[in-house]
């Protein structure tokens, strides 16, 4: 893994959350994008060398809706940038981590992504992120 790519935050209301983070960081989001396959609307803030991704459910079957119903809004996941997502997935699987996807899926911000199951990573949802070529 190269570096932390972003921190994901589950929100109930994107407009209100964007306004809050704009005031907090004194910066506007640089990108808003729907990821239909995941049922989420995303909004990205750049804060120094770091990124924050806000995630709002777009329908009741969304993983974000289920997360908020169970745990409430807040920290959702931490993402790490990788050079070769398939090689990293293979390495982590060999180390005993459970993957939520067998193949990388298309994610927001022009990325390929894969998540590690929280039960295999100390209760944390970890996302592997690679730039699409």
- The confidence score (pLDDT) of residue 133 equals 80
Q: Residues of the chain with pLDDT > 70: what percent? A: 100
Q: Which string of DSSP letters, residue by residue, matches the chain?
A: --EEEEEEEEES-HHHHHHHHHHHHT---SEEEEEGGGTEEEEEEEETTEEEEEEEESSTTSHHHHHHHHH-SEEEEEEEE-S-HHHHHHHHHHTTPPBS-SS-EEETTTEEEEEE-GGGTTT--EEEEEE--
Band (18; pLDDT cuts 50, 70, 90): very high
pTM of the entire structure?
0.90
Q: How far apart are CA 12 and CA 67, in angstroms?
A: 11
φ, ψ at 131 (rounded to 5°): -60, 140
pLDDT in tens, 67-83: 999 999 999 999 999 99
The pLDDT of residue 90 is: 97
- Give residue-wise pLDDT tens across range 21-41: 999 999 999 999 999 989 999
Q: Is the pLDDT of residue 1 over 80?
A: no
Q: What is d(CA 23, CA 81) in angstroms, rounded to the nearest whole number?
A: 27
- pLDDT reported for residue 122: 92
Tokens 């506007």: give the residue.
Answer: 28
User: Which of the residue ranges 19-23, 85-89, 98-102, 129-133 would you say has the lowest mean pLDDT?
Assistant: 129-133
CB 8 within 8 A of CB 21: no
């Amino acid at each position: 893994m190269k570096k932390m790519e972003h921190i994901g935050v589950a929100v109930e209301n994107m407009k209100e959350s964007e306004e809050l983070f704009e005031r907090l960081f004194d910066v506007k989001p640089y990108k808003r994008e729907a990821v239909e396959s995941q049922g989420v609307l995303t909004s990205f803030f750049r804060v120094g060398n770091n990124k924050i991704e806000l995630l709002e459910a777009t329908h009741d079957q969304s993983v974000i809706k289920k997360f908020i119903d169970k745990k409430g809004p807040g920290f959702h996941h931490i993402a790490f940038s990788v050079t070769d997502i398939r090689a990293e997935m293979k390495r982590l699987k060999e180390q005993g981590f459970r993957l939520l996807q067998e193949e990388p899926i298309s994610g927001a911000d022009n990325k390929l992504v894969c998540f590690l199951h929280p039960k295999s990573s100390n209760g944390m949802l970890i996302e592997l992120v690679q730039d699409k070529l």
